[in-house]
Amino acid sequence: MHRNKLIYFTLIIIGILSFNGVALSKEISGWKDVDSVIMEIEKANSAFKTLKANIIYTRTITLLESTESSQGDVSYKKPQRLYLKFYPPRNEINIVDGKYVWIYHPKEKQVEKYELNQSKQPSQGMSFLEFGYGESLSAAKRDYKITLIDTKEDGKKRIYILDLKPNDQKSQYSDIRLWVEDGFWLPNRIELYESGGEVVNIIELKDIKLNKGLSDKLFIFDVPRGVEVVEPLK
């Protein structure tokens, strides 16, 4: 179901970047190599407990020449608490409360409910914050070959672009790319490629705020009166 697709980018799976990749063959003067970038990401990840940001999600299907873009707000609190609200026309709220995933469609007066570990389908790809914002290095170390493929300068900013290729040929994503800014060291752009690159998902985080304090109440979904609860996997 297409409207459920974005839930595949909303859960923090326990797993942050760990790398068995190689560095660029030539280091650019003043730039870090891949191992140094990894260490900085680890330190930045360990230092934050909460995150708030604006989010832009764009999904492009090249064969259909189709592009869909959604904007919203995201709040995350370790461990596994997420509130993701998309503005109209998408008009959708995703909540992860540590036990369940809720996908609320106010216009349809319907909410989809999934157990967090009920099935690989609702959790396997719910991963835009898995890469760089998770809590363990073990999953990425086991599952991906990761390299530093490019560096860019944007004014005074230095950007490192990391490429993750899954070891499992049946993985949902054929390629994942992270854009990491020098000094901030957490990804602010994540590109996920499906079907050999024919489908491209781009997640951009803007105006990121860390450790500002978030109430646990934000991550509790109280079913409004008159709203139907649907559990697709039961």
Contact call for residues 228 and 109 (beta carbons, < 8 A): yes
Q: pLDDT value at position 23?
A: 32
Contact call for residues 84 and 30 (beta carbons, < 8 A): no
Residues ≥6 apart with Cβ < 8 Å to 167: 142, 143, 144, 145
Contact call for residues 234 and 121 (beta carbons, < 8 A): no
CA distances from 211 to 50, 75, 98, 129, 197 (A): 5, 11, 19, 16, 35
Helix then strand count (H, E) for the chain reads: 4, 12
Token look-up 């489908």 returns 199
- Greatest distance between any 2 Cα atoms in the chain: 62
Q: pLDDT value at position 179?
A: 94
Q: pLDDT value at position 44?
A: 87
Q: 3-class SS at 12? A: coil
Strands 144-154 and 110-115: unpaired
Q: pLDDT value at position 25?
A: 32
Three state DSSP letters for 82-100: EEEEECCCCCEEEEECCCE
pTM of this structure: 0.80
Q: pLDDT value at position 131?
A: 67
Which numeric CATH code is attached to 2-211? 2.50.20.10
The tens place of each residue's pLDDT in the chain, 234 residues long, gives 444 454 444 432 222 222 333 333 334 457 898 888 888 888 888 888 999 999 999 999 999 999 999 999 999 998 888 899 999 999 999 999 989 999 999 999 999 999 887 544 443 334 556 666 765 455 676 788 888 999 999 888 899 999 989 888 888 889 989 999 999 999 999 999 998 889 999 999 999 999 988 999 999 999 999 999 999 887
Q: pLDDT value at position 184?
A: 92
Phi-psi region of 159 (alpha: psi -120 to 50; beta: other; left: phi over 0): beta
Strands 157-166 and 175-181: antiparallel
